[in-house]
Structure 1
């Protein structure tokens, strides 16, 4: 059990950078990046390339000489993960202790399937009263929909965003429950998902996007051509179910407006 570090004056920021296009960095994130705060960024291992740092570099911002790589091992071993998070939390607490703000660079949005939430808990285990601010950003699936030139959902529609790792049985049930499904990180189950969509008659309603907003971006509209292909980790499927039967909707606001009008007229 390690001793807690004294409370820092610095604030821990989760700086969302968007999915890859530097022009999708928000003005709020840009202000933080140019504020003189210390940077920290995630890497899979020592010497590995950071996708988040690459977004900032392509934006033309100089990388501070004291920018700190934080190592996040790609493992499911709970003991190894616990040790890694404790080490990362302690290091961030040490960086904050001099009162200088610390920016953790996040691809996509820091509140959506991000390591930032884990990092906050790890730092607060060391410094319970640390100040935290999350700067929101553009998630990959909204950027993908914009790239395709089609709305994710329209009035009255429903949307679900899930990792494809939940499996085809869950995906099959959710097709009937939502008008649009966003399936993230589809690589391990891509062929199984394509078979399901073919069985459901929805291959023509699916679109595939990988590395959206980056120089390596790829959009595939004929998704059946992807069978047998190993696609990148940063890839997703947008699936529509135009034939979904919707239940009745409770339009409470309209009822309130009607009741108000009746009262005024009485």
Structure 2
């Protein structure tokens, strides 16, 4: 009878790469990429290009021969999604049980609207002993705000980040509740958003950013000029509402001197 101790599984590392500019890859993520861990990266379908992998390649790192793609299809079909997630997580666990760390490449920040969080949850369901390490990174909206010199929030201001798919009625309400709105994935609703901003007198306080940090980055301040245009999936709107009426703030319990 064999008395060999089972090999402990490797760690699953979510390496945030930023939204497109390899100069925004953090030192910690850069070290993980060169640690000897096996690379996993997401693709929309088999044999298609990976946006996350492209960020690393532009940074000058050589893609290891054993790097492996995991397919996460762009669909809302719950059956197809469940099947894809199951395949990806099962394959990840198989590789982790070989005892080698895996580094999963994540565009933007791994904790913000990212594939990694869901993958990590399913992996833990299949293999609770697996250690997960999430490396934070620069989100697309933070990079967009910086490159356009748009403050997300100053002093006592507020901001919200939402996918535009929540719809025009929700967005119209939030305009009154926040000083800045970050609207993600605006492609399907862009014309409706432009009309809403026109009605609210906020067009001059909005900015459109597409593929921030990538070579194809595009910044448009004349948002009205985008009406009728098909834009990239990786696009967002920053909307400031300088006339927002704020309620009274509670300053805390510290005694005044």
Bin for the TM-score computed over the shorter chain: over 0.9
CA distance in 2, matches of 1:150, 1:115: 27
- SS of the residue 1:208 aligns to: strand
Change (3 A) 1:156 1:123: same
Question: 1:162-211: CA deviations, max 9, x gaps?
Answer: 00000000000000000000000000000000000000000001000000
**Contact 1:88–1:122 at 8 Å: present in 2 too?**
no
| Residue 10 (structure 2) aligns with | 10
Structure ranking higher in helix proportion: 1
**CA RMSD between the two structures:** 1.1
**Contact 1:7–1:127 at 8 Å: present in 2 too?**
no
TM (normalized to structure 2)? 0.96
CA distance in 1, matches of 2:150, 2:80: 42
Question: 1:52-73: CA deviations, max 9, x gaps?
Answer: 0000000000000000100111
| Residue 67 (structure 1) aligns with | 67
CA distance in 2, matches of 1:220, 1:100: 45
Q: How many residues are matched?
A: 252
**Contact 2:7–2:99 at 8 Å: present in 1 too?**
no
Unaligned runs of 5+ residues in structure 2 are 1-5
CA distance in 2, matches of 1:224, 1:247: 31
CA distance in 1, matches of 2:178, 2:71: 37
**Contact 2:13–2:134 at 8 Å: present in 1 too?**
yes
| Residue 254 (structure 2) aligns with | 256
- State the shift of 1:125 in Å: 2.3
For 1:10-49, what aligned pairs fall within 5 Å after superposition? 10-49=10-49
| Residue 94 (structure 2) aligns with | 94
| Residue 243 (structure 1) aligns with | 243
CA distance in 2, matches of 1:58, 1:216: 13
Unaligned runs of 5+ residues in structure 1 are 1-5, 262-266
CA distance in 2, matches of 1:95, 1:9: 9
Segments of 4+ moved more than 2 angstroms: 6-9
- Residue 150 (structure 1) aligned with residue 150 (structure 2): yes
Question: 1:21-40: CA deviations, max 9, x gaps?
Answer: 00000000001001000000
- State the shift of 1:7 in Å: 8.1
- State the shift of 1:149 in Å: 1.6
TM (normalized to structure 1)? 0.93
- State the shift of 1:9 in Å: 2.6
CA distance in 2, matches of 1:7, 1:173: 54
